[in-house]
Amino acid sequence: MRIVQKFGGTSVGSLERIRKTADIVQAELAHGNQVAVVVSAMSGETNRLTAMAREVSEQPAARELDALIATGEQVSAALLAMELQQRGVSAYSYSGGQAGFITDGSHERARIKNIEGNHLLAHMQSGEVPVVTGFQGVDERGNVTTLGRGGSDTSAVALAISVHANVCEIYTDVDGIYTTDPRIVPTACKIKRISYEEMLEFASLGAKVLQTRSVELAMRYDMPLHLRSSFEPVTGTMVVQEDETMERATISGVAYNRDEAKITIMGIPDQPGIAANVFGPVAEAGINVDVIVQNVSEQGYTDITFTVPCGDYQSTMNIMRSLCKQMDARDVKGDDSIAKVSVVGVGMRSHAGVAKEMFDVLANAGVNIQMITTSEIKITVVIEEKYIELAVRALHSAFGLDEEGS
């Protein structure tokens, strides 16, 4: 087998952790596999470097910021290569540029254009372990670029695709994706296999285990991901292409997010362009709007309600208050004690009535639904925050997730 192993910040967070990581790499080599490694910076390092830059300048030049924060991964790559060499393993560290990661020129959020040359594959075939810095590359002029926070996942998937690996293993501090948060439902089970699409839904619902882009990339090239823990030697969650067994389960998991606030702008004179007017300034402020509901207009007036992350609540309220005057709307109301709960599963495509069942379960639990939104494989409702644990527990059990994973 040919494997790309990615180790996140906590897996290389100290010299002791780096030794544990070297054990994992060595074990894979001992099985006769070819291995390349992608590392993150030691945990906390990217934040530390960014904070230092902000002390020097309020708005550091993006090119220099990238040059600075890319060093975090160089430290962990070099240390891991040294540790492996010490054990007699032929391992060499490579920066993104040395590994041939060519990106576009958008600093801090660069996209990989291609991985030049296949010298890493040749190294792997000759038994060497390339240890590559995640999160970075160089643009066509040779400037160091970075891929956005969490970007090492995307580096690892891109590398796995380019060397035609059988699997890309993502080592982190959790041992997989669970049917829901085990802190709320202790009987939550680890999901053994999940589809790329479900993983994307979970990621967008706030599961921070994988950078969303890395899942999109893996899906496009059908690269299996194995999410697993570097702290415990157990099988994790496989993220793979959808198959029939997945459809047998109605839903795969229940996700929630407390970090949401709801804003309603009421009594807007209804005419073409109002939604664009409302969301234009919000988008300009870089605020991500999630659930949106617009009422049917009554006597020429309508209401629009939407949710934003709690951190953007006050600034969005300010934008809406001034818009309210400009658009001659009646009033603006806000509520930051709401939460979102979602059921996700590809099985929804072939099972009718999942939405109704979800609404019944919440009704029986006495939970009032404020907003609803759906995709083909997800149903999300907005409810009062104080009911979130109750709702998660009720849904997890009603959809049969208490007994078995999938």
Among 4, 5, 7, 9, binds ligand ASP (CB under 6 A): 9
At its nearest, how many Å lie between ligand ASP and the CB of residue 329? 40
* C-alpha span between 7 and 71 (Å, rounded): 16
Q: Does 46 bind ligand ASP (CB under 6 A)?
A: yes
CB nearer to Mg ion: pick between 6 and 262: 6
Residue (171 or 196) nearer to Mg ion, CB: 171
Q: Which stretch binds ligand ASP (CB under 6 A): 40-48, 161-169, 191-199, 325-333?
A: 40-48
According to DSSP, the residues that pair with 230 across neighbouring strands are none
Q: Shortest approach of ligand ASP to residue 46 CB, angstroms?
A: 4
- Dist. CA 31–CA 167, nearest whole Å: 15
CA–CA separation, 209 and 207 (whole Å)? 6
CB atoms within 10 A of CB 275: 14
Tell me whether residue 355 is exposed, middle or buried, using C-beta atoms within 10 angstroms of its C-beta: 0 to 12, 13 to 18, 19 or more: middle
User: Which of these ranges, 148-156, 237-245, 310-318, 385-393, lies near ligand ASP under the rule CB under 6 A?
Assistant: 148-156
135 binds, among ligand ASP, Mg ion, none (CB under 5 to 8 A by kind): ligand ASP
Give Cα 302 distance to the centre of its chain: 35
Decide if residue 41 touches ligand ASP (CB under 6 A): yes
Residue 342 interacts with ligand ASP (CB under 6 A): yes or no: no
Burial class (CB in 10 A: 0-12, 13-18, 19+), 365: middle
Minimal distance, residue 236 CB to ligand ASP, in Å: 18
The site partner of 72 among Mg ion, ligand ASP, none (C-beta below 5 to 8 Å per kind) is: ligand ASP
Decide if residue 225 touches ligand ASP (CB under 6 A): no
Residue 321 DSSP one-character state: H
Which listed option, Mg ion, ligand ASP, none, makes contact with residue 406 (CB within 5 to 8 Å by class)? none
CB 381 within 8 A of CB 330: no
Helices then strands, each counted (H, E), the chain: 13, 18
Note whether 137 binds ligand ASP by CB under 6 A: no
| Min separation Cβ 90 and ligand ASP, Å | 26
Amino acid at site 138:
V
Q: How far apart are CA 9 and CA 151, in angstroms?
A: 12
**C-beta neighbour count of 247 within 10 angstroms:** 16
Which is closer to ligand ASP, CB of 111 or CB of 149? 149
Beta carbons within 10 angstroms of residue 298's beta carbon = 10
- Indicate the SS3 state at residue 253: strand
Consecutive H or E run containing 317 = helix 313-326
- In this structure, what DSSP letter does residue 298 have? B
Q: Which of 97, 151, 176, 405 touches ligand ASP by CB under 6 A?
A: 151
Count of other CB atoms within 10 angstroms of residue 347: 20
Stretch that binds ligand ASP, among 51-59, 93-101, 146-154, 389-397 (CB under 6 A): 146-154
Which residues share a beta bridge with 91?
129
Q: Which is nearer to Mg ion, 158 or 346 (CB)?
A: 158
Give the contacts of 295 (CB within 8 A, at least 6 positions apart).
302, 303, 304
Residues that bind Mg ion (CB under 5 A): 8, 150
- Nearest distance from residue 149's CB to Mg ion, in Å? 8
Q: Which does 46 bind (CB under 5 to 8 A by kind): ligand ASP, Mg ion, none?
A: ligand ASP
Q: Which one of residues 152, 162, 214, 237 is an interface residue with ligand ASP (CB under 6 A)? A: 152
From ligand ASP, Mg ion, none, which one binds at residue 171 (CB under 5 to 8 Å depending on kind)?
Answer: none
Binding site residues, ligand ASP, CB under 6 A: 9, 40-41, 46, 72, 134-135, 149-153
